[in-house]
Amino acid sequence: MNSFTQFLKLQEDKEADFEPHMMYDPETGKEHKAKTYADHVRMKKLGYDHEKPTNESRTVDLEKANELSYDEYEEVQNFKNFNKRDWKRNRRLGKYVRKNKV
């Protein structure tokens, strides 16, 4: 049996053993269901993971972000080092943009 045939056999085994499960977008934390093995592979290529991102890592990401959606802006207003004067609303982009990049 050559290596390509072994590879195909392994792929078939993975597809046969696959069970639908949740995968998480690392940027937003939104969950998406991988219903098929093909879904799983596609999401993995997009950077999705099996573990839900923690709020701590999301907080650090938002503190260092230079652009925030309207929802993210509402969220960061509760951070203790938030300064409203550092941000400007950009209606064209539909986001808030930091005046001085971090």
pLDDT in the model for residue 35? 92
In a domain, 50, yes or no: no
In a domain, 39, yes or no: yes
pLDDT tens track for 29-66: 788 899 988 898 898 898 888 888 776 666 667 788 88
Angstrom distance (rounded) from CA 80 to CA 36 = 43
In a domain, 87, yes or no: yes
In a shared domain, residues 73 and 40:
no
pLDDT in the model for residue 33? 92
pLDDT tens track for 74-95: 888 888 888 889 999 998 888 9
Q: Which domain holds residue 72?
A: 55-98
pLDDT in the model for residue 15? 73
In a shared domain, residues 61 and 41:
no
pLDDT in the model for residue 89? 93
Structure tokens at 1: 């049996």
Mean pLDDT calculated for residue range 21-35 = 85
pLDDT in the model for residue 88? 93
Closest C-alpha among 44, 72, 69, 47 to residue 58: 72
Burial 22-57 (b: 16+ CB within 10 A, else e): ebbbbeeeeeeebeebebbeebeeeebeeeebeeee
Angstrom distance (rounded) from CA 25 to CA 53 = 8
Q: How many domains does the chain have?
A: 2
pLDDT in the model for residue 97? 92
